[in-house]
Amino acid sequence: MEKALAWPPANLSRSKIVGPVACGSAGPVPGYRGITPPHADTPLHLLLLLDLADADCPVKSDGSTRYLPLFYPLKYGGGGPEVQYAVLSDTEVRILYLSDEAPDAEDHQYVRVAQLPSCPAEILPLRYEEARILAFGDADPYFQPDKADLAILEELEREHPLILIGGDRRLPVNAGGVVCRNPDCEFYSRHLLVDIIASIPPVPVNGADDFWYEYRGGHVDFYFCLCRYCHTIIAFNVAG
Ligand SMILES: [Zn+2]
């Protein structure tokens, strides 16, 4: 089993992506092999492609790949699937686990498009006061921001809900436990600690969000995490 990437978690700092958002990087979106599960004809959707060579990207590569693609099975699992995969190279991933092996029936699929529209996006490091108020909100669900903090939060989400990358974050309590499904991982099938690579809400792209279909306007975040032990990418969604 190849190890995908070695991202030093200590290097993660929290960043935001600013609009217009955000299903690709500045460059052309590379094609990936391995994004269609065996015995199916419906590929995963690319939600975000991180350019690890971007100095502002908090996720770092060990040099073996330049990009980190964040894939999600939008047409599987009736709106709540989980996928785990390894990034083998800049042209190939390997699906290690998919909660639902067959895609949903066509008229029950949560999105209708074969792939999401793409546009370039820019990663911007959060300012101190932005990071602080988001961290307070993470740490305490009952936290009440004051007027000044509220203004900061509103400004952060002025164009769309925030896509957050990296950072020393905790999963929301309703995410439940995370289990690594990589049979070669020493923590296989056990609950584990993960680093959050990114959380991505269903944001508009190029001014439109109708392609999100059933997810459109929903209070949901697509979470992408990294097993600390084997670097498998673990993706699921969490209702807000
Ligand atoms: Zn693992």
20: pLDDT strictly greater than 60: no
Check residue 16 and give its pLDDT.
55
Q: 204 C-alpha to center of ligand 1: Å?
A: 32
Q: 187 C-alpha to center of ligand 1: Å?
A: 6
Q: 228 C-alpha to center of ligand 1: Å?
A: 7
CA 61/CA 162 separation, integer angstroms: 23
Q: 87 C-alpha to center of ligand 1: Å?
A: 13
pLDDT in tens, 39-53: 899 999 999 888 888
Check residue 23 and give its pLDDT.
41
**66 contacts: CB under 8 Å, gap ≥ 6:** 51, 52, 53, 90
pLDDT in tens, 119-152: 778 888 888 888 888 888 877 878 888 999 999 9
pTM over 0.75: yes
Check residue 147 and give its pLDDT.
94
Spatial strand order of the sheet with 194-200 comes to 93-98, 83-87, 233-239, 220-227, 194-200, 164-165, 15-18, 122-125
pLDDT in tens, 186-234: 999 888 888 899 999 998 888 889 999 999 988 899 999 999 889 899 9
Count of CA atoms in the C-beta half-sphere (13 A) of 136: 14
Q: 156 C-alpha to center of ligand 1: Å?
A: 33
Q: 86 C-alpha to center of ligand 1: Å?
A: 10
102-133 as b/e: b if 16+ CB within 10 A? ebbeeeebbbeeeebebbebbbebbeeebbeb
Residue type, 222: F
pLDDT in tens, 82-112: 999 999 998 999 999 999 989 999 999 999 9
The better pLDDT of the pair 116, 19 is held by 116
Check residue 29 and give its pLDDT.
57
7: pLDDT strictly greater than 70: no
Q: 75 C-alpha to center of ligand 1: Å?
A: 25
Q: 152 C-alpha to center of ligand 1: Å?
A: 37
Q: 53 C-alpha to center of ligand 1: Å?
A: 25
Q: 6 C-alpha to center of ligand 1: Å?
A: 13
User: CB of 171 within 8 A of CB of 141?
Assistant: no
51-82 as b/e: b if 16+ CB within 10 A? bbeeeebbbbbeeebbbbbbbbbbbbbebebb
Distances 142 to 133, 137, 170 between C-alpha atoms, Å: 13, 8, 15
Count of CA atoms in the C-beta half-sphere (13 A) of 167: 23
